[in-house]
Amino acid sequence: MRITSFLSKAGPIGKIVLFAFLMLTAVMFAACAGIDPDKNNDRSIKDLMAHMIRNVGGTFAGNMFVPPVKAVEGVSIALEGKEVAFYKYDLTLKKQRNKVEHIRKTGQLYINGVRFEAEVNGSFVMINHAVNLKKAELIKAFQKF
């Protein structure tokens, strides 16, 4: 049956049901589109750090302690007198995927009760960029990784 003939014969209830079905389908696709686990999950935090230093500048400042953020690994770079931190999550693990999705939705990451503005790109999260003089450049380079 063609959709046009269905709509002409369906009446108001059928049209409402079809509309509800289409809206539900759209919402489901939008929810699934949040994080792409294949985007950069295979890349290392060292790859990200090299990319950021090459595109924005700065120097390696050290490894980050990851248990408070439940990440796999983390590093920071010193840029414009401030440290910018990067964390990698393993999106093949459901808990880590849920954590990153929550960070992406809220735009923030809490560490021991302290709120940090956060950017998400696939498996990676960047924090402490909001207080850096090169904030716009950091976000642009991070999203290109």
Confidence of residue 16 (pLDDT cuts 50, 70, 90): low
Q: What is the pTM of this model?
A: 0.75
Lowest mean pLDDT: which of 17-21, 45-49, 50-54, 111-115?
17-21
Taking only the tens place, the pLDDT of each residue in 58-104 is 999 999 999 999 999 999 999 999 999 999 999 999 999 999 999 99
Q: What is the CATH number of domain 45-144?
A: 3.30.200
Residue 11: the pLDDT is 66
Domain definitions of the chain by residue range: 1-33, 45-144
Which position has the token pair 């992406």? 104
